[in-house]
Amino acid sequence: MANLDEKICIIGGGPAGLSAGMYLEKKGYKNYTILEKNDHVGGKCNSPHYNGRRYEMGAIMGVPSYYAVHDVEEFAGIQHDGPQLNRNYKNKDGKVIEPFEPSKNLMKIPRLLKMKKQVKLFGELLETKYKGYDINGHRGVSQGRYDGYACTPGREKISGENPNLKDLSMPFKKFCEMNGVELVQDIWIGPFTSFGYGYFDEIPAAYVVKYLDFQTTMNFVKCNLWTWKDGTQSIWERLNDKLCNKARLNCDITKVERKDGKVFVTVNGQVEEYDKIIVTSPLQYIPDYFDATQDEKDLFSKIDYERYDVLAVETKPEDHPEISYYVFENMEPERYGHLMVYYRRWRDEVNQVITTYALRNHTGDPEIPYETCKKTVLDDLKTMKNPASAVVNENSWYYFPHVDSETYASGWYEKVEGMQGTNNTFYAGEVMAFGDMDETAEYSRELVDRFF
């Protein structure tokens, strides 16, 4: 029977940590503490102010299949009330193109028709051959089974055996080629690679299809999108305001020691005692401040991440883009380090920043230095005929923690899930599901449901 009086420490005040607090509270727990190292909550949902409005340095949007985010909206009493988003496309030379319009691409009509058929086939394969593919989290996939919440409005708890799920450990490009649907990458690449999640020749298919399940992808394609007037960060700020225990900010955690059935956390030089701890901050860094076990050291050393750089720039009014633009040619591995997308949030005002996005790492290639990538992106904006007049903000994120195909296939997730609760420690956050706000929040829901 659950002990609702347990004292629980949650490390991290991003979507995963705040959602863990919310789901604990909804279950009757009130004695939890959220410790956040920054002076604000929200993590990679980061919406600074400029000229009286907020812009996005991290997450931009959601879709109707973001069921955990909708839980947060209902709990916090907020609506997705932001600007309607749309986009256009340019090639790498800055020319406006319409890649999916047959009448504008007569030579590509055969490819577009073939792609349309493959997208339909892919949807059928996911629902049949890969039944269970869209369950939140990765527990059991490398063993050919699924167990968790369905990606449906009712989010039913389901489980089963499906040996075909083992295929999801291979890189998405290989996965598509094996299933005869290689052209679906033309659709999936927009909301995947440009959003900082790596390249299809290196990232296991499981990450791609769990984030971009078929209904979510179709929402992106149709621009059936959610935004928030005060930015994605406002979701988590409002949630934090509603929690009975708001996150404590500016927490410098220097040591976590687990002994005698308790967890001792050194915060800003003071030792605090807890019964259990939920870690939603990057697991890769646990050995730096935890009394890490050898299993924790070995497993978490396998985690890699994307070097995803975001610039917020001013332009002269005459150079401000009239809409957001995707540059598909710059989303291919051979063009890593180039501008992939630039985003205009507010359509009624040119005195606002635009934000740019670039990846500067690819497996097997040297990592591009930050300043080199920044210069390339600013040069690309000139090529796009939307040159920046000033950089007002910049960030290089620790983005999308994940493991490679070999590690995934070897049962990394099953091993980590097998450690849940050991030493009164629970693991959540991005790597346990996927590095977007809904998947991490949904994983926190399931964690609380399973163990508390």
How do strand 425-427 and strand 276-279 relate by DSSP bridges? parallel
Between CA 251 and CA 74, with CA 49 as vertex, the angle to 5 degrees is 70
Q: Which domains are present in the chain?
A: 8-48+66-74+229-303+404-451 (3.50.50.60), 110-221 (1.10.405.20)
pLDDT of residue 418: 97
pLDDT of residue 1: 66
Closest by CA position to 262, among listed 279, 254, 274 = 274
| Secondary structure E strands in 170-268 | 253-259, 262-267
The contacts of residue 198 (CB under 8 Å, 6+ apart) are 192, 306, 359, 362, 400, 402
DSSP reduced 3-state for 259 = strand
Sheet with 270-274, strands from edge to edge, namely 253-259, 262-267, 270-274
Contact predicate 312/393, CB 8 Å:
yes
Contact predicate 150/158, CB 8 Å:
yes
Per the rule left: phi > 0, alpha: psi between -120 and 50, beta: everything else, 337 is left
How do strand 8-11 and strand 32-35 relate by DSSP bridges? parallel
- Amino acid letter for position 219: N
Per the rule left: phi > 0, alpha: psi between -120 and 50, beta: everything else, 101 is beta
Strand partners, 161: 145
Exposure b/e, 226-245, CB count within 10 A at least 16 = b: bbbebbbbbbbbbbbebbeb
Retrieve residue 148's tokens.
Answer: 């968790």
What is the chain's pLDDT, residue by residue, as a tens digit (452 residues)? 689 999 999 999 999 999 999 999 999 999 999 999 999 999 999 999 999 999 999 999 999 999 999 999 999 999 999 999 999 999 999 999 998 888 877 788 899 999 999 999 999 999 999 999 999 999 999 999 999 988 888 899 999 999 999 999 999 999 999 999 999 999 999 999 999 999 999 999 999 999 999 999 999 999 999 999 999 999 999 999 999 999 999 999 999 999 999 999 999 999 999 999 999 999 999 999 999 999 999 999 999 999 999 999 999 999 999 999 999 999 999 999 999 999 999 989 899 999 999 999 999 999 999 999 999 999 999 999 999 999 999 999 999 999 999 999 999 999 999 999 999 999 999 999 999 999 999 999 999 999 99
pLDDT of residue 150: 86
Q: What is the pTM of this model?
A: 0.96
Q: Which helix (H) or strand (E) holds 218?
A: helix 214-221
The contacts of residue 58 (CB under 8 Å, 6+ apart) are 42, 43, 44, 45, 46, 47, 232, 233, 310, 395, 397
Closest by CA position to 281, among listed 148, 403, 401 = 401
pLDDT of residue 334: 97
